[in-house]
Amino acid sequence: MTVIERREIALVDLLDRLLAGGVVLTGDITLRIADVDLVRIDLNALISSINETVPSPWEGAL
């Protein structure tokens, strides 16, 4: 094993690193029965932290 393979990162540290840069999640879900598509859902999500330099897009909208 190399040093990188043995390195352990706490979940809190991993979330902090991901939110600092932002994460984009995408996916498709299709519900089908007997090869007939019944429902299709496209998912797109942007997860990011908010601070003074990157304000919330909903600030003042509510």
What pLDDT shows up at residue 6? 63
pLDDT greater than 70 at residue 5: no
What radius of gyration do the chain's Cα atoms show?
A: 19
- pLDDT tier at 16 (50, 70, 90 boundaries)? confident
d(CA 21, CA 18): 6
- pLDDT per position as a tens digit, 20-61: 777 888 999 999 999 899 999 998 887 777 777 766 667 665
The model's pTM? 0.43
Largest CA distance in the chain: 52
d(CA 25, CA 52): 24
Q: Which residue has the higher pLDDT, 30 or 4?
A: 30
Domain ranges of the chain: 3-47
Q: Which residue has the higher pLDDT, 2 or 42?
A: 42
- Name, in order, each residue with C-beta under 8 angstroms of 47's C-beta and a sequence gap of 6 or more: 18, 19, 22, 23, 24, 25
Q: Which residue has the tokens 């991993």?
A: 14
